[in-house]
């Protein structure tokens, strides 16, 4: 049987994707739809970004100028993950400021926030992984500091797998400025040397290169992971990139399938996606997501 | 009980928001949905823009190169407003040319158009206000001329409240070029001196600044209104701005609530929104609007 | 009775419009919806673009780096066209490279692909026309070569009508750099001299100029066609252009009607649209398309 998507990110504060505006009932229906197609892992893409957060955190309220959360999506997601027998990965907070040099503060803040999270939610059965949300496409010294300090702290709080999901400078999104698979490998070699032993899983985003370049990048990614004792997942993005002015809408099913098959061929051990709820859920605000779900279920041989 | 949205704009020719393509039945259902959540005021955002108009106006046909209206949305909106017990504000025509210097012509044209509107629709019971649609974010001499000439003429036709809804140069939309709340106050002080006694209500758009900057701008707006004897409403925009590439989709319910609470805290006397039909209607072309409506109704304690 | 839309393009690989993600059942429902409003002609906008194709072509696999097609949309479309009594026009493949000078290769590749298409699908009853998909807005020598070589080859394979659908440099999309109707005529005079006797039908796209400029462009187009013995159709685009940041969503019904009436007034002999399935289908991923369909059916006097 072909590999399927078994993990998805959860996108719960508006960063660049607008809100589905779901309440508890709609989220519950969404978890049912995930479970029906074999999702066993949900990864919070971020606990917060800039002025917004998924729960009313004392740490964020004190340190940043955040809006009220008006609810507790951490609890909702953990409830649903437990009801559906899924693993939940907690994703860190992204202030946006670390790229410009404030990486020590980003690490400090996230360490304090992780302490609060552990205290409030650490006893939850579904709490099974850490996701460091600070994304880079190439070596970045500030990010290395965030990864090192944060990974040590998170593992100290609880020894759970630590995931990152980098992007890459592919030809589709960066026609002027892309890294070829060879240059990508040289560049990421430096990163992997730094994160070896700290990060357990790397799931590169697969949507930024031309589709037909993907196998070459996936080979590089798998080799880098293998050589550094890191698990290689693939983040099989389920929204369309490249040439389409509407950013972002559900991907063509044929494109998703192509990328899944490429990841399997490269030897990735698990396929996750960004993300189920907007781009392939029957509940999504984008009606073509419902049709993507149907195509995917047909392909899996699931009778909806 | 918390303040709720009691007014909405009506957007009936395509300017920057695409058409819902509704006919009479869909508009009627929409007015029912508005009434169910307490909307008592509907404000036509503009009678026309450039080459399009909401009714076949003799004045616009003679003076501008407009397309046929293929119907009469003025009558439809007045019918619906009367059926639902709502006040209707008429919004002026925006040629787009007044920013570049043709403000005298803009005033002349709109005075003639208002005469025609008064003749055709002036007897309608729901006709209860004037909205001057020419929007500015800071002092603009041409706009002052339009406001002065038009406000005097409109009030002469019928003594009804006159509303404007300016934008503001906030950090979210204008990161390089924003006015701080202090600079905003100095700038708008000049405008308020000119419009005092002419304009009755000012409802600033609230979506252009960072959410957490909003309370400071609202305080300025409320003070400016108070000091000049003008009613202070807030235009609580219900579409997402800032960072989201899809322009424009329904706002996250938490963001809308935050802005409503901020407007209430600043002492605004009425909350209106731009606009119900695209961004929070169960009939909207954007499915997440239906969910925003549900969240809003839940919060109001209304059982749909 | 007013002229109606009797043809539509079919958009079946993602170029700039995201996928509806339909399978056989959804496409069948869509053809039913087309037939219900009088569509008798479907035109494949392109057999492929860059790395994607509507069927697993040996020619494209050998010559280009294409992804698997995972199905055969040529067969599906021909089946549906035959079931619904429609004519099917085959659209060529667009590598994207011909604009930059590779026009001889584009012609060669498309000639070989047309041979393969003729061999596989040439016996199908609905196969009734050729569409050369390489679009230009003004004289372009490389395109002339593609048109000349390809038109001769296609007609040699089977003597069916050959259609092109150019754009034009109108004021709405090209405010700095547009061609007035007079300049458009001079420019296209050169093109028509070259394509006379090769191309049978020209259907200019009608969405790029200001609505109220359209009659003047349509007069030019009709005269050019008349003077060169070419049928003049109009491609009445059914998505909104101009000022609307969301590219692309269904057009306002009033705008569509205005453009249809303008094309009829100019003497166009057939109205086609780009395209039914995304922008005016009751099945579309864009809910406002369903309402456009309703408005259109109402206008036709069809009781859905």
Distance CA B259, CA C300 (A): 45
* Distance set, CA C122 to CA A95, C159, C215 (Å): 60, 12, 39
Identify the domain containing residue C92 by its residue range: 5-300
Best mutation site among B11, B18, B242 for testing chain C: the one with the most C CBs within 10 Å? B18
**pLDDT score for A1:** 81
Is residue A21 less than 8 Å (CB to CB) from chain B? Answer: yes
Best mutation site among C254, C256, C260 for testing chain B: the one with the most B CBs within 10 Å? C254
Contact partners, residue B180, CB within 8 Å, separation at least 6: none
Residue A74 backbone zone (phi > 0: left; psi -120 to 50: alpha; other: beta):
alpha
Q: Which helix (H) or strand (E) holds C235?
A: strand C231-235
- In what side-by-side order are the strands of the sheet with C93-94? C52-53, C48-49, C93-94
| Three-class SS state of C94 | strand
Distance from CA of A7 to the nearest CA of C (A): 21
The number of folded domains in chain B is: 1
Give chain A's radius of gyration (CA, Å): 18
Segments in chain B below pLDDT 50: none
Phi/psi at A226 (nearest 5 deg)? -60, -45
In this structure, the strands spanning B41-44 and B5-10 are: parallel
Task: Write out residues 189-228 of B within 8 Å (CB-CB) of A.
Answer: 210-212
Other C-beta atoms closer than 10 Å to the C-beta of A146 total 22
What DSSP string describes C43-74? EES-SEETTEESS--HHHHHHS-PPP-SS-HH
- Do A252 and C51 count as a contact with CB atoms less than 8 A apart? no
What DSSP string describes C101-140? TTHHHHHHHHHHHHHHHHHHHTT-TTEEEEE-----SS--
Segments of chain B assigned E as strands: 5-10, 41-44, 48-49, 52-53, 87-91, 93-94, 127-131, 162-164, 201-205, 231-235, 270-273
pTM of the predicted model over 0.80: yes
- Do C295 and B26 count as a contact with CB atoms less than 8 A apart? no
Which residues in B lie closer than 8 A to residue A288 (C-beta atoms)? none
Distance from CA of A223 to the nearest CA of C (A): 24
Alpha carbon dihedral A179, A180, A183, A189, in 10-degree steps, equals: 90
In C171-213, alpha helices (H): 181-195
Burial zone of C146 (CB within 10 Å; 0-12 exposed, 13-18 middle, 19+ buried) = buried
**Within its chain, how far is the Cα of B45 from the centroid?**
5
Average pLDDT of the segment spanning A125-146: 98
- Do C253 and B51 count as a contact with CB atoms less than 8 A apart? no
- Residue B171 tokens read as 């950090």
Residue C142 backbone zone (phi > 0: left; psi -120 to 50: alpha; other: beta):
alpha
CATH of the domain at A196: 3.20.20.80
Is residue C19 less than 8 Å (CB to CB) from chain A? Answer: yes
User: For B26, which of C211, C240, C291 is closest by C-beta distance?
Assistant: C291
Q: Is the pLDDT of residue A90 over 90?
A: yes
- Do A70 and B257 count as a contact with CB atoms less than 8 A apart? yes
- Do B21 and C286 count as a contact with CB atoms less than 8 A apart? no
Sign for the pseudo-dihedral over CA of A67, A70, A72, A74: negative
∠A269-A273-A275 over CA atoms, to 5°? Answer: 160
Cβ contact C31:C67 at 8 Å: no
Which residues in C lie closer than 8 A to residue A245 (C-beta atoms)? 16, 247-248
Is residue B2 less than 8 Å (CB to CB) from chain A? Answer: no
- Residue B114 tokens read as 């208002």
* Complex prediction ipTM: 0.97
Cβ contact C214:C262 at 8 Å: yes
User: For A288, which of C21, C23, C247 is closest by C-beta distance?
Assistant: C21
Is residue B100 less than 8 Å (CB to CB) from chain C? Answer: no
Segments in chain C below pLDDT 70: none
Other C-beta atoms closer than 10 Å to the C-beta of B277 total 25
User: For C245, which of B20, B69, B247 is closest by C-beta distance?
Assistant: B247
Sign for the pseudo-dihedral over CA of A208, C103, C227, C2: negative
**pLDDT score for C304:** 83
* pLDDT confidence tier of residue A263, bands split at 50, 70 and 90: very high
Distance from CA of C280 to the nearest CA of A (A): 15
Burial zone of B100 (CB within 10 Å; 0-12 exposed, 13-18 middle, 19+ buried) = exposed
| Three-class SS state of B127 | strand
User: For C253, which of B17, B21, B51 is closest by C-beta distance?
Assistant: B21
Distance CA A46, CA A90 (A): 8
**pLDDT score for B166:** 98
| Three-class SS state of A49 | strand
* Helix-then-strand count for chain C, H and E: 10, 11
Neighbouring chains of C at 3+ CB pairs under 8 Å are: A, B
Specify which residues B94 forms β-bridges with. Answer: B49
Average pLDDT of the segment spanning A27-33: 98
Contact partners, residue A89, CB within 8 Å, separation at least 6: A41, A42, A43, A44, A128, A129, A130, A131, A161, A163
* Distance set, CA C144 to CA A180, A230, B240 (Å): 35, 55, 46
């Amino acid at each position: 049987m072909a590999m399927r998507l078994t993990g998805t990110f959860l996108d719960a504060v508006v960063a660049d994707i607008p809100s589905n505006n779901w309440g508890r009932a709609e989220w519950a229906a969404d978890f049912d739809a995930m479970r029906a197609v074999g999702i066993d892992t949900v990864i919070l893409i971020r606990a917060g970004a800039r002025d917004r957060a998924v729960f009313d955190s004392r740490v964020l309220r004190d340190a940043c100028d955040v809006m009220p959360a008006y609810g507790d999506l951490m609890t909702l997601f953990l409830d649903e993950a437990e009801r559906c027998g899924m693993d939940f990965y907690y994703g860190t907070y992204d202030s946006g400021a670390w790229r410009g040099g404030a990486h020590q503060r980003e690490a400090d803040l996230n360490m304090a926030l992780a302490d609060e999270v552990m205290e409030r939610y650490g006893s939850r059965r579904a709490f099974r992984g850490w996701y460091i949300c600070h994304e880079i496409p190439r070596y970045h010294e500030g990010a290395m500091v965030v990864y090192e300090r944060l990974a040590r702290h998170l593992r100290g709080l609880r020894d759970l797998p630590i995931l990152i999901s980098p992007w890459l400078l592919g030809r589709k999104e960066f026609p002027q400025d892309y890294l070829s698979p060879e240059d990508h490998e040289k560049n990421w070699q430096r990163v992997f040397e730094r994160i070896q032993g700290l990060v357990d899983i790397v799931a590169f985003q697969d949507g930024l290169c031309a589709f037909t370049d993907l196998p070459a990048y996936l080979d590089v990614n798998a080799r880098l992971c293998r050589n550094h004792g890191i698990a290689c997942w693939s983040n099989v993005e389920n929204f369309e990139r490249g040439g389409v002015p509407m950013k972002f809408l559900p991907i063509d099913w044929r494109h998703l399938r192509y990328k899944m098959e490429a990841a399997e061929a490269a030897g990735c051990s698990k396929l996750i996606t960004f993300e189920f709820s907007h781009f392939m859920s029957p509940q999504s605000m984008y009606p073509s997501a419902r049709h993507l779900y149907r195509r995917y279920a047909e392909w899996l041989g699931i009778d909806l």
